Amino acid sequence: MSDPMNVLAPEHRRLRIGDAWRDAASGATFAVEDPATGKTIAEVADADVVDGLAALDAASTAMAQWAATPPRKRSELLTATYRALTERSEEVARLITLEMGKPLAEARGEVAYGAEFFRWFAEEAVRVEGRYSIAPAGGYRILTVPKPVGPCVFVTPWNFPLAMGARKIAPALAAGCTTITKPAGQTPLTMLFLARIMEEVGVPPGVVNVVTTKRSGDVVSALLADSRTRKLSFTGSTEVGRVLLRQAADNVLRTSMELGGNAALIVCADADLDVAVDGAMVAKMRNIGESCIAANRIYVEEPVREEFTARFAERMGALSMGHGLDDGVNVGALIDEASVTKIDELVADAVDRGARVVVGGERPDGPGHFYPPTVLVDVPEDARMLEAEIFGPVAPIISFTSDDEVMAKANDTEHGLAGYIFTRDLQRALRFTEGLDTGMLGINRGLISDPSAPFGGVKQSGIGKEGSHEGIQEYLDLTYVAIDLP
Neighbouring C-beta atoms of residue 485, cutoff 10 Å: 10
Backbone φ/ψ region at 139: left (φ over 0), alpha (ψ -120 to 50), beta = left
8-state DSSP, 294 = S
**Whole-angstrom Cα distance, residue 50 to residue 65?**
24
**Whole-angstrom Cα distance, residue 254 to residue 251?**
9
- Partner residues linked to 419 by β-bridges: 264, 441
Candidates 258, 290, 389, 474; catalytic one: 258
Cα radius of gyration rounded to whole Å, the chain: 23
Confirm whether 90 is a catalytic residue: no
- Partner residues linked to 180 by β-bridges: 153, 209
- 254 within 8 A of 153, measured Cβ to Cβ: no
Helix then strand count (H, E) for the chain reads 14, 20
Query: CA separation (Å) from 371 to 188, 215, 274, 340?
Result: 24, 29, 26, 6
- 82 within 8 A of 119, measured Cβ to Cβ: yes
* Residue 391, C-beta contacts closer than 8 angstroms, at least 6 positions apart: 159, 289, 290, 291, 294, 339, 342, 343
**Whole-angstrom Cα distance, residue 337 to residue 446?**
28
**Whole-angstrom Cα distance, residue 171 to residue 62?**
17
CA angle 240, 242, 248 (to 5 degrees): 105
Residue among 435, 396, 403 nearest 419 (CA): 435
Residue among 349, 343, 398 nearest 374 (CA): 343
Residue among 463, 289, 244 nearest 389 (CA): 289
Residue among 92, 254, 82, 91 nearest 160 (CA): 92
Catalytic residues: 258
